[in-house]
Structure 1
Amino acid sequence: MTGIVVTGMGALSCYGSGVDTFWAGLTRRERVTPRPVEQLGPELTPLTTCLSVPAGALPAEPDPDRARAEGRTTRAARAVVREALAEAGLDAAADGGGRRAVLIASGVGEAALVEDWRAGTVAPPAGWTPTYATAAALAEEFGAEVAATGLSNACAGGSYALAMGADLIRAGEADVVIAGGVEMYARVTMAGFNRLGAIDPDGCRPFHRDRRGTGMGEGAAAVVLESEEHARRRGAAPLGRLLASGWSCDAYHATAPDPEAVEITRAMRETLRQAGRGADEVSFVVPHATGTQLSDTTECRALHQVFGARAAELPLYSLKALLGHTGGASGALAAVAAVLMLRHGRLPGNLPVADLDPECEVWLPTEPVADPGGLAMTNAFGFGGHNISLLFERYGRRAD
Structure 2
Amino acid sequence: MTRPDRRRAVLTGLGAVSCLGAGVDAYGIGLLAGGAAPHDVDLPHMNMRAKRMYLTPPSAIPVEPVAHAGIPLGPAPRMAVAAAREALADAGIGDGEAARVPVVMGVEMGNASVQEEQRASGGGTPRWTPLAVTAAVVAEAVGSRAGASGIGNACAAGGYALGVALDMIRAGEADVVLVGGAEGVTRVGMAGFDRIRVTDPDRCRPFARDRAGTVFADGAAFAVLESADHAAARGAWPYAELGAAVWSCDSYHHPTAPEPDGVQLVRAMRDALADAGVRPDQVGCVLPHATGTLVNDAVESRALRRVFADVPDRPPVFALKALIGHGSGTAGMFACLAGALIASHGRIPANAPVDQDPECDVWLPQDGPLALTRPAVLVNSCATGGINASFVLSYAGGRA
Indicate the TM-score class for this superposition, using the shorter chain for normalisation. over 0.9
C-alpha deviation, 1:239, in angstroms:
1.5
Aligned residue in 2 for 1:384: 385
**In structure 1, what is the Cα distance between the partners aligned to 2:70 and 2:25?**
28
Contact 1:4–1:225, Cα closer than 8 Å, also in 2: yes
Amino acid of the structure 1 residue aligned with 2:238: P
Q: Evaluate the alpha carbon distance shift between residue 368 and residue 270 of structure 1 in structure 2; reply closer, same or farther with a 3 A threshold.
A: same
**In structure 1, what is the Cα distance between the partners aligned to 2:10 and 2:276?**
14
| SS class of match (2:16) | strand
**TM-score normalised per structure 2:** 0.92
C-alpha deviation, 1:359, in angstroms:
1.0
Contact 2:115–2:129, Cα closer than 8 Å, also in 1: no
Alignment of 1:182-193 (within 5 A): 182-193=182-193
| SS class of match (1:360) | coil
Alignment of 1:88-99 (within 5 A): 88-91=91-94, 93=95, 95-96=96-97, 99=100
Q: Evaluate the alpha carbon distance shift between residue 123 and residue 373 of structure 1 in structure 2; reply closer, same or farther with a 3 A threshold.
A: same
Aligned residue in 2 for 1:25: 30
Aligned residue in 1 for 2:3: none
Aligned residue in 2 for 1:218: 218
Residues 1:50 and 2:53 aligned together: yes
Aligned residue in 2 for 1:159: 159
Contact 1:68–1:124, Cα closer than 8 Å, also in 2: no
| SS class of match (2:309) | helix
Amino acid of the structure 1 residue aligned with 2:41: P
Residues 1:198 and 2:198 aligned together: yes
**In structure 1, what is the Cα distance between the partners aligned to 2:223 and 2:349?**
21
**In structure 2, what is the Cα distance between the partners aligned to 1:230 and 1:350?**
36
**In structure 2, what is the Cα distance between the partners aligned to 1:318 and 1:249?**
22
C-alpha deviation, 1:272, in angstroms:
1.0
Contact 2:200–2:215, Cα closer than 8 Å, also in 1: yes
Amino acid of the structure 2 residue aligned with 1:11: A
Aligned residue in 1 for 2:72: 69
Q: Evaluate the alpha carbon distance shift between residue 161 and residue 211 of structure 1 in structure 2; reply closer, same or farther with a 3 A threshold.
A: same
Aligned residue in 2 for 1:238: 238
Aligned residue in 2 for 1:287: 288
Aligned residue in 2 for 1:78: 81
Contact 1:15–1:32, Cα closer than 8 Å, also in 2: no
Contact 1:13–1:53, Cα closer than 8 Å, also in 2: yes
| SS class of match (2:59) | coil
| SS class of match (1:288) | coil
Structure 1: state its 5+ residue gaps: none
**In structure 2, what is the Cα distance between the partners aligned to 1:331 and 1:58?**
21
**TM-score normalised per structure 1:** 0.92
Q: Deviations over 1:86-114 (max 9, x none)?
A: 101112x4x24673211111121111112
C-alpha deviation, 1:54, in angstroms:
0.4
Contact 2:62–2:75, Cα closer than 8 Å, also in 1: no
Contact 2:112–2:131, Cα closer than 8 Å, also in 1: no
**In structure 2, what is the Cα distance between the partners aligned to 1:33 and 1:151?**
27
Q: What CA RMSD, in Å, does the superposition of the two structures yield over aligned residues?
A: 2.1
Q: Evaluate the alpha carbon distance shift between residue 311 and residue 258 of structure 1 in structure 2; reply closer, same or farther with a 3 A threshold.
A: farther
Does 58-67 or 156-165 show the bigger shift? Answer: 58-67
